[in-house]
Amino acid sequence: MNILILSANPKLYSTQRLVQAARERGHIAKVMDHTRCYVVMESGQNNIFWKDHIVSDVDAIIPRIGASVTFYGSSIIRQFEMKKAFTTLSSLALVRSRDKLRATQILAHHGVGIPKTAFARNPSDVNHLIGQVGGTPLIVKLLEGTQGLGVVLAETQAAARSVIEAFYGINANILVQEYIEEAKGSDIRCIVIDGKVVAAFQRQGVEGEFRSNLHRGGSGTLIKLKKNEKEMAIKAAKALGLDIAGVDMLRSNRGPLILEVNSSPGLKGVEAATGIDVAGLIIEYIEKNANAGTPNRKKDNIGV
């Protein structure tokens, strides 16, 4: 099978592991920087070009789209979809998951447990907005933030007013969210593949840090999920149309609460913490679902 990994950086751990896992299983795997290819459209044709030639004979793609190029990345995925290439991430699911407000609205609509969240545009009564999420402390999130950036803990009413009004003052779109104190600066990252939780680990923030992201210096340890936590992670991924997802959740006094659903979850942290070959499981998912014929194709026809 010809598998194309859409990644702007072939040196990233996740990208390299996917290439390795695919080749170990007898597939042809290549990496293409989706930001440097382009599409040409005319009646009856939708072609993807790399430099001066058409990208062809692709059985499956694994999109690893950075948050800063979501719009362009989704357009490239959509072009492959029109070419009937199997994709581990649909263009629609990418757009849904990357829009934090839209994702939160969808999760709430489908009955997924989430921290109480408010969204407003310059409300006349900031104090009332704060009260809607249970008062302080509370979390303020930039809609465009990633990897813990643009996330602020406001511990007092005055601090919350100041932060919210400051963001509104620069026309930033924000979510105001309930703070789950009992989580104690930790969360759980679950990897969901094809409707099953295949790996999970707990992330703990450094002392004095409420964000548990590994990019912020947090640590990861193996954890055993409860049944309701597995069910909630699967429900969240399904609600957003993701067959492969990194689901971040908190343990709260009222059960598991979903913080975020990542459509391109990193593999380094979860593989290091659990010892599970997540990259291999992704390739197995493609083998099971792509229906592209024999995996041991001799000739390399990807053309990139």
Residue 303, pLDDT > 60, answer no
Q: What is the pTM of this model?
A: 0.89
Residue 36: which region, alpha, beta or left (left: phi > 0; alpha: psi -120 to 50)? alpha
Same domain, 197 and 151: no
Residue with more model confidence, 120 or 206: 120
Q: Which of 151, 179, 207 is the last residue of a domain?
A: 179
In angstroms, rounded to a whole number, what is the distance separating the alpha carbons of residues 63 and 119?
30
Residue with tokens 């194709």: 297
Residue 216, pLDDT > 60, answer no
Q: Which domain holds residue 66?
A: 2-89
In angstroms, rounded to a whole number, what is the distance separating the alpha carbons of residues 264 and 246?
7
Q: What 3-state class would DSSP assign to 172?
A: coil
* pLDDT one-digit tens code per residue, 38-72: 999 999 889 999 999 999 999 999 999 999 999 99
Residue 218, pLDDT > 80, answer no
* pLDDT one-digit tens code per residue, 121-168: 888 889 999 999 999 999 999 987 665 678 899 999 999 999 999 999
Domain count for the chain: 3
Same domain, 142 and 171: yes
Same domain, 221 and 167: no
